[in-house]
Amino acid sequence: MTSKKLNSVLARNTENAPQSIGKYSQTVAFSHYNNLSAQLPIDPKSGKLVTGGVKEQAEQCFKNIKVILESINHVMNDVVKITVFVKDIKDIDAVDQVYAAFFSTYVPARTVVAVADLPKDALVQIEALVSNGEGTIPNAPQAGDLIKLANNTARAPLSTLSAQTVAFSHYNNLSAQLPIDPKTGRLITGGVKEQAGQCLKNIKAILESIDVPFDDIVKVNIFLKNLSDSEAVNEVYATFFPDSAIARAVAYVPARTTVAASALLMDALVQIEAVVSHGDGTPPQAIEDRHGIVIKATNSENAPKCSLSTQSVAFSHYNHISAQLPLDPKTGEKIVGGVKEQTEQCLKNIEAILENIDHGMEDVIKVNIFLKNVSDIDAVDEVYKTFFPKGIPARRIVGVTNILKDALVQIDVVVANAEGTPPNR
């Protein structure tokens, strides 16, 4: 596919930001989004963690993001979504003081989660999803008039530090929703089932406020304080998906990733975020026929299946892949072996999913790796570089307290979809 009418994967790096620890790019653009690798508090000159506490580290993370954006002619106000990983949830107030200085006039959608560990023993790691108004069609800048649309509704919890949803081009990116009653601003009473229900109700209220159906969700990320609560959350989840007669007819469920959090804001038991299709794009471009771009959900027999998630959900120019565990697709059981073997199986499952939709690993633009032991990074990278020899995708690595099926590693990816998703293609 070399036609000038097609978007291309554009990986870029600058010497003014930390060089990658492993084979990945600082930012990878495709179509109307730039996907940045998660930034650690590393001084780009020394290649080492900055001295100081969490405030100094958070500031360095944001400085690194800002420098990367400047290198591709973008600014902080082009950030659509921020994800903050901290080792100690109590540090978030200090991080927020720094955060507010970088987003003084506009606040993006946001997710905050405490995890068990971060690379280089950092206290904080921050990643950004950024608009790319000019698109990535070679020699043909496009859609320079697209704008961000940040929306809030009183029917869902409000925050001065984040917009509930930020739309750009054909996607809405929602802030992670906590189980907060929007009327009181407090956590609801009850256990994890009640909390999961409230998170999903808040997401639904946000989508209704922007006239977007619940079944336009293409990817869901669930953060659990106790991974053992996953079955209880699944019971509630199944009552929300599918949401419409059309979705029920085809048994549509979004792609999904479940992550063990060491702690969540307000001491919540669960937090849920959603990535949502935006059929009419963002004006001032002409409003498109909502049926001109469709959601395409696909499963392959050559990768593990789950009744609560679809392996790949494509919309417009992106494919969202459910997190892959090191499961043998034939048996559904975890494979035998250590972290190397498990990493290889996760990536084989991803490769099989992509081959099933006529894509390949070279179309991957972002990789998210969750490790039981962050010290396994080097072993993971030995396998990783055989699947990504050019090291193009942007990347995030976090350490978690536990992984489903007691796995050592879990991987999900975001993939380019050059042909888009018009009907009958």
Sheet hosting strand 33-36, strand order edge to edge: 10-12, 27-30, 33-36, 124-131, 79-86, 109-114
Work out the average pLDDT over 347-353: 98
pLDDT digits (tens, 9 = 90+) for 90-125: 999 999 999 999 999 999 999 999 999 999 999 999
Determine how many CB atoms are found less than 10 A away from the CB of residue 255: 25
What DSSP string runs through 344-355?
A: HHHHHHHHHHHH
pLDDT tens-digit readout, 154-171: 999 999 999 999 999 999
Question: Alpha-carbon distance 326 to 376, whole Å?
Answer: 15
Vertex 328 angle, CA 323 and 331, to 5°: 120
Check residue 284 and give its pLDDT. 61
| 246 pLDDT above the threshold of 90 | no
CA distance 315 to 423: 11
Q: Which domains does the chain have, with CATH numbers?
A: 1-138 (3.30.1330.40), 151-289 (3.30.1330.40), 291-425 (3.30.1330.40)
- Quickly list DSSP for 399-421: E-S--GGG-SEEEEEEEE-TT--
Q: What is the pLDDT of residue 141?
A: 59
2 pLDDT higher than 50:
no
Distance of CA 252 to the CA centre of its chain: 20
Of 28, 30, 27, 29, whose CA–CA distance to 7 is shortest? 30
Residue type, 343: T
Task: Give the amino acid at 235.
Answer: E
Report the C-alpha gap between 222 and 331 in whole angstroms. 25
What pLDDT, on a 0 to 100 scale, did the predictor assign at position 288? 56
Question: DSSP secondary structure string, 314-336?
Answer: EETTEEEE--B-SB-TTT-SBPS
The answer to whether 195 and 223 have CB atoms below 8 angstroms apart is no
DSSP, collapsed to helix, strand or coil, labels residue 295 as coil
Cα–Cα distance for residue pair 30/404, rounded to 1 Å: 31
* pLDDT, the chain, mean: 93
| CA atoms in the 13 A half-sphere facing the CB of 190 | 14
pLDDT at 4 over 70: no
CA distance 417 to 359: 8
DSSP three-state, residue 232: helix
Element (H, E) at 86: strand 79-86
From CA 190, how far away is CA 256, in angstroms rounded?
25
Residue keyed to tokens 């293609």: 425
Q: Token pair of 114, please?
A: 């405490």
What pLDDT score was predicted for residue 6? 81
